[in-house]
Amino acid sequence: MDAELLKPGQRIAALTGLTPSGEIGESLAFEEGFVVDAAASESTGDVLGETVDASGWIALPPLADLHAHLDKGYTWTSFGQPEGSLDDAIACWIDHGENHSSDDIKVGARRHLIAALHAGVTAVRSHTNYHLGDDPLRGVRALVELRAEFAGVVDLQIVASPGASDGPDDLGRAAVALGVDLIGGFPHLADDPSADLERAAAFAEEFGLGIDLHTDETLDPTSMGLAELAARTRHWPAEVIRSAGHCVSLSTQDAETRRRTLAAVADAGISIITNPLTNLYLQGWQHPVATPRGIPPLREIIAAGVTLAAGGDNVQDPFNPLGNADMVDVASELVIAGHLTPAEAWHVSSSGGRAAFGLPPARGRVGDVADVVLVRAAHVAEALAERAPDRIVIRDGRVVAVRRRVVDSVLDLSALPAPPSTPTTEGALI
């Protein structure tokens, strides 16, 4: 069967004719939700599913969005089309948030998750605020319902993220009872950042939950919340999630401060989640000359042995009018603005995110889960450059989404030569 004919719901026994990319060679075989040895699978001859000719496609690890705000999605227009800095976006959210109903939240969040799925994203971690108005936990409830709706297709982790004035006690306990996965917060925005971090960490400990904080989302080099988070959580059991999103101030600190901080982060087992699209948009408005880029030092983070993941952050809301739930755009920005190679950028946006999420590996190795994204491209760089318009998303050995580009024009396209790009020797990343 040709990959071009695949439809959602079909089960795959084997992919053949793949263009090698990274660790994945010319073929992949799946059995009972796992990658198996292709030669051994052929010898048994009793594996259920289609054998697919995937000539012209590469197979890549599925993407993971480790920092979303599903409760805010697609509100940029209805909230007045704000433009400006982080402070402007926060003020806009405060002005309009009370009118953002539970139905509004659920419609926008479902739209986001469907777009992410078609883009090859099979894991999303979303923060949700305690919303203004009479029902502050309407965002939490909406995401809990969607987590069940998308189960087995898109994994969803929910982070309850109170503001500095919300207090975690009453609302936090109610959010935990509803079923949130992690405790969040914004310590760098509090009057006393250290106290706010301690409050969030203690609350997470009380309920045996992990933590994912918005951390140092500022160009102020004196903002050292990441180092404090490392010191506060270094004794936690290894299996308990602790993540820090943004970490923008790292880019403004001197080399020795960064070295010490990243060594502590690695020792504490904290994952860092970079959000290039939103931080490039929000940060630097006050610096018209030599404008800072608002991205932490990615190569130093990787070199320090820290798990690095990425997030799309905001999708067409007051914090970014241009987000679209596609982590390929994020990975592309990690190359352009973050100076990673294409292979490194895909790794951060896929395997790095899965590791930070706590999911099993999906690298295409024997024993890994049978989750891949097929992209019609010769190599990762081409996939990022062309924004991978054609994608087939396979989870648990089953096609769960298909996205294909259809183009036409007055030109006779059949007469135009279109030689395939030459495969590269992109290295594998562990």
Q: Which CATH number describes the domain made up of 3-60+363-415?
A: 2.30.40.10
Q: What are the tokens at 111?
A: 């739209």
3-state secondary structure of 335: helix
Q: What are the tokens at 186?
A: 């914004």
Pick among 3.30.300.10, 3.90.320.10, 3.20.20.140, 3.40.50.1370: CATH of 63-357: 3.20.20.140
Number of helices followed by number of strands (H, E) in the chain: 14, 16
The CA distance from 156 to 208, in Å, is 19
Q: What are the tokens at 246?
A: 């943004």
pLDDT at 96: 84
Contacts of 379 (CB under 8 A, 6+ apart): 19, 21, 58, 342, 421, 423, 424, 426
Q: Is the Cβ–Cβ distance between 8 and 400 less than 8 Å? A: yes
Tell me the pLDDT tens digit for each residue of 271-288: 999 999 999 999 988 888
Helix (H) / strand (E) element for 147: namely helix 138-149
Spell out the domain ranges in the chain. Answer: 3-60+363-415, 63-357
For every residue of 79-125, DSSP letters joined together read: TT---S-HHHHHHHHHHHGGG--HHHHHHHHHHHHHHHHHTTEEEEE
pLDDT at 410: 87
The CA distance from 259 to 257, in Å, is 5
What's the alpha-carbon Rg for the chain, to the nearest Å? 22
The CA distance from 319 to 153, in Å, is 28
- Residues of the chain short of pLDDT 50, as ranges, are 428-430
